[in-house]
Structure 1
Amino acid sequence: MPVSFATPDTSPLPLYVIEADALAAWLDGQDAPTRAWVEASGFAGGLGTALMLPGPDGTPVGALAGYGSSDARARHRFPLAGAIPGLAPGSYRIASGLPPECAATEALGWLLSGYSYGRYREQGGRERTLVAPEGIDPRRIEILAEAETLTRDLVNTPASDMGPEALEAEVRALAGRFGAEVAVIAGEDLLSEKTYFPMIHAVGRAAGQVPRLIDMRWGRSGPMLTLVGKGVCFDTGGLNLKPGGSMGLMKKDMGGAANTIGLAQAIMALDLPLRLRLLIPAVENSVSGHSFRPGDILQSRKGLTVEINNTDAEGRLVLADALAYGDEETPDLMISMATLTGAARVAVGPDLAPFYTDAEDFAGALADAAPGAADPVWRMPFHAPYEAMIEPGIADLDNAPSGGFAGSITAALFLRRFTGQAARYAHFDIYSWQPKPEPGRAKGGLMQGPRAILDALPQVLDL
């Protein structure tokens, strides 16, 4: 399905959104054949149900979409999207029943419900399109859907076609569409005195494609926003090799990069009045004679030394060098996004995007924005007493504290050590994967956090 709304000249069918307790009242206003058809079908307005309404010759003249109860809707991000599979292919317009305050969210859910990943297998079937409901900004909704489509495609693409080289190509293509500038530091240049990113090099040096730092800039004026996305295109765990069952989804270990790329696309498409910088350390954590080892002490761009106690805790290493680099320009807001820890999934599950920040204004703006953006986030603490857990004694920092407690918090504390100049810093420890299909959210790669961030930016950066 194209990520766009239908035009009214497509002769859309009227779609009546029916709450379960409002069905009787709606039927009272219909003619006898319509009442008989609905009653005979057993349609009761349940969430996720749909019913086509036939005309005298049997061709559809409209449709009903069950909207359930408020309790049922609270369990889903995009409740109306659950009814779409029950509709006949074609174009629709909302005729009645959709609360105005829900129109933008449900319109976005409709666009996202058409997503399918078709790079390797042709996706057939006719589309179910929607005329933009009244009272929404249709182009903004389309931009949000386009950004999530890009993010999902990037995450869903296997590492055979989405290694560091391909990720760089995606950023260059994005920059070309919006007139942004891209610089890349790769391979042994990461170790030069002028461009020094030793931890990015160490993590990626064992792979077939050389590690690199991708640096995209857009915008000439306004506050500065720096996005840093973890671009580990595949993670074997390194010498601390993952078991097979844990390696199967590691194509998504660049989900942080994918989310920041999607967010960057939305910012540029909306032409927000700010200066945008996107930093992506793109590597593969592979196994070879060049792999970094447990027990190694790594230098970092910031000058802090890091003891390696687990080569499978590599994402924070590449992020640290990139964060230190971004921090040198003292941005007004710097955000890192990463599929960083299993501990975050244990804490909040796959549906919430946990984040860390000391910036109270940004935390408050996110809390305000997330419900309306249908993009739930959850604040986690930079808990100072745990700082000792990331200080091993032999080096400045430990990349993988023993014991397993507070793994997401200690990872966030580790990253915070590489910031300090930015006016505000926030870290998102996301999953970026939908484990099972939900309305508007196909199984697979997922955007988590960018819509809430996007809606919070005007308040935080005074845009």
Structure 2
Amino acid sequence: MPFHKAEAPADAVPIFFVSAETWPQVRADLPAAPAAFAAACDFEPTPGRLLILPSAEGGLAGVLFGIERKDAKARDPFLPGRLATSLPSGVYRFANQPHDVTLATLAFMLSSYRFTRYKKKDDAQAPELCPPEGVDIERIMRIASAVEFGRDLINTPANDLGPDALETAALKLATRFVAKASVTRGEKLLQMNYPLIHAVGRASDKAPRLVDFVWGPKDAPKVTLVGKGVCFDTGGLDIKPESAMLLMKKDMGGAATALALAQMLMDANASVRLRVIVPIVENAIAGNAMRPGDIYPSRKGLTVEIGNTDAEGRLILADALALADEDAPDLLLDFATLTGAARVALGPDLPPFYTMDEALAAEIARHGMQANDPVWRLPLWDPYDKLIDGKVGNLCNISAGSFAGSITAALFLRRFVEKAKTWAHFDIYAWNPTAKSARPEGAEVQAARLLFDLIEARYGCKAKVNEPNDNRKIVRRVGFLDDDSDEGSAFDDLMP
């Protein structure tokens, strides 16, 4: 835990945030020995520069950390997160204010994340930060814990996080917060009218499935989250090249994002009727794999031509969105590592989002900036909609050309949303190619933090929820978790 749990000790090492504007005053206020040391080191307050100041007794007198000027064109409120990985062990405190103390504190915690499942954990004592005055530490820990949960899911390779394990993770989360959940697996998907999910996942030796859980009072506003859960994507018969397949363990990043956001909302006791729908498959190759040119019905009744088996994510989302839409939610959000075109357009750090609701778009943009969880709106450009019209079926899962791939994918999904009062689609990357402040290299949960803020602002959050259930009770309450059969299964009603 990167936060010091006890009361701040008197000898907690002060961290001074300095910019070109504030450095002269901070320097003047330093004791003589640390000030002389900073001068001897030619310290300049450039953003990200760190200098540990010794005391006359040989201890730590303080830390100088450079940040941007207030009038800088671009400021990184997560920059102080670098302290979590740069400081020696000890207890520290903020001696003055960074640009945004709440985001700086969150950055310290997010930067402390390490994925240690397959490596021995470093025994070195990490630095601890005394919670700054006026910062809601419980809220920060709630957010960071959910992000850690999502990062762990995405980082785990497919041999340990296949469809069975992702289902189990979703059900454990549902059980922890006493949600009502059901699972539909294998051939039962056809009986329950999820033909596209079945078609995508049937070639794997792990049955395709759909997890669906509901939490919260029935009379509250309905918020539904849908996440793409492709545990590994070979591309199917349109097989990916080696370089494109290397990171395909993260193709369930949409599911991880939906589950992480759900954890934040349930842990905060949000005033909503929350529903989470996660279609889970592995896009594998076998004799029964779907083929280019095949045509399948969908839950909505539209027939879909398979133009490319590697455009499988939108297929499973189509059935899941159709299911979600039947409930006419007040807010429907879906998350998917859907297209490479989104990365070409905006890079890995800036996911595009799509919505027809102008007010929602403005809220998303505002909360994204405030939470330092950036996204960028791209258009649901109606003239491109005809590009996904089918020649034999109602529509095709790809367009005929290579242009506007993220837009045409979003337009495909829009065909399956009709009754929801408002809907937004997020084409996330779910990965940090290189380490950045508060964003270690590897898995990343994108857009969840901003949407937690948005939903909290729209609908509110109440006091603490019930204490999480002991995970040892899960198998007794949900006996089919270790069942590998292809039959559909359902939870007992877990609602209180």
Q: Which residue in the other structure is 1:65 paired with?
A: 65
Displacement after TM superposition at 1:278 (Å)? 0.4
Q: Which residue in the other structure is 2:341 paired with?
A: 343
Which residue identity lines up with residue 444 of structure 1 in the other structure? G
Which residue identity lines up with residue 209 of structure 2 in the other structure? R
Q: Which residue in the other structure is 1:359 paired with?
A: 357
Distance 1:162 1:3 in 2: 27
Q: Which residue in the other structure is 1:200 paired with?
A: 197
Q: Which residue in the other structure is 1:162 paired with?
A: 161
Provide runs of 4+ in structure 1 moved above 6 Å: none
- After superposition, where does 1:243-282 map in structure 2 within 5 Å? 243-282=241-280
Change (3 A) 1:430 1:26: same
The 8 Å contact of residues 52 and 88 in structure 1, kept in 2 or not, is answered as: no
Q: What secondary structure sits across from 1:191 in the alignment?
A: helix
Distance 2:73 2:106 in 1: 16
- After superposition, where does 1:184-195 map in structure 2 within 5 Å? 184-192=183-191, 195=192
Match of 1:295 among 293, 317, 323: 293
Change (3 A) 1:117 1:329: same
The 8 Å contact of residues 5 and 142 in structure 1, kept in 2 or not, is answered as: no
Deviations 1:123-163 (CA, angstroms, capped at 9, x unpaired): 31321121121222111111111111111111100000111
Q: What secondary structure sits across from 2:22 in the alignment?
A: helix
Change (3 A) 1:67 1:459: closer
Give the alignment's TM-score, normalised by structure 2.
0.89
Q: What secondary structure sits across from 2:349 in the alignment?
A: coil
Q: Which residue in the other structure is 2:305 paired with?
A: 307
The 8 Å contact of residues 19 and 97 in structure 1, kept in 2 or not, is answered as: no
Displacement after TM superposition at 1:92 (Å)? 1.0
The 8 Å contact of residues 271 and 460 in structure 2, kept in 1 or not, is answered as: no
Distance 1:3 1:180 in 2: 30
Which residue identity lines up with residue 107 of structure 1 in the other structure? T
Q: Which residue in the other structure is 2:209 paired with?
A: 212
Deviations 1:313-347 (CA, angstroms, capped at 9, x unpaired): 00000000000011111111111100000111111
Distance 2:4 2:323 in 1: 41
Distance 2:110 2:169 in 1: 21
Displacement after TM superposition at 1:5 (Å)? 5.4
Q: Which residue in the other structure is 1:22 paired with?
A: 22
Change (3 A) 1:205 1:449: same
Distance 2:121 2:456 in 1: 38
The 8 Å contact of residues 5 and 111 in structure 1, kept in 2 or not, is answered as: no
Which residue identity lines up with residue 208 of structure 1 in the other structure? D
The 8 Å contact of residues 85 and 111 in structure 2, kept in 1 or not, is answered as: no
Any gaps of 5 or more consecutive residues in structure 2?
462-496
Q: Which residue in the other structure is 2:74 paired with?
A: 74
The 8 Å contact of residues 231 and 256 in structure 1, kept in 2 or not, is answered as: yes
Q: Which residue in the other structure is 2:115 paired with?
A: 117
Distance 1:459 1:29 in 2: 41
Which deviates more, 79-88 or 26-35?
79-88
Which deviates more, 450-459 or 213-222?
450-459
Change (3 A) 1:443 1:23: same
Distance 2:43 2:365 in 1: 38
Change (3 A) 1:208 1:281: same
Distance 1:305 1:90 in 2: 62
Match of 1:331 among 305, 308, 329: 329
Distance 2:71 2:206 in 1: 50
The 8 Å contact of residues 2 and 129 in structure 2, kept in 1 or not, is answered as: no
Distance 1:431 1:86 in 2: 27
Displacement after TM superposition at 1:216 (Å)? 1.3
Deviations 1:289-317 (CA, angstroms, capped at 9, x unpaired): 11000000011111100000100000000
Which deviates more, 19-28 or 421-430?
19-28
Distance 1:460 1:353 in 2: 22
Displacement after TM superposition at 1:67 (Å)? 1.7
Q: Which residue in the other structure is 1:172 paired with?
A: 171
The 8 Å contact of residues 164 and 233 in structure 1, kept in 2 or not, is answered as: yes
Change (3 A) 1:73 1:364: closer
Q: Which residue in the other structure is 1:41 paired with?
A: 41
Displacement after TM superposition at 1:51 (Å)? 2.0
Deviations 1:228-273 (CA, angstroms, capped at 9, x unpaired): 0000000000000000010000000000000001000000111111
Which deviates more, 111-120 or 39-48?
39-48
Distance 1:424 1:275 in 2: 15
Deviations 1:176-206 (CA, angstroms, capped at 9, x unpaired): 22111221000010011xx110100000000
The 8 Å contact of residues 390 and 410 in structure 1, kept in 2 or not, is answered as: yes
Give the alignment's TM-score, normalised by structure 1.
0.95
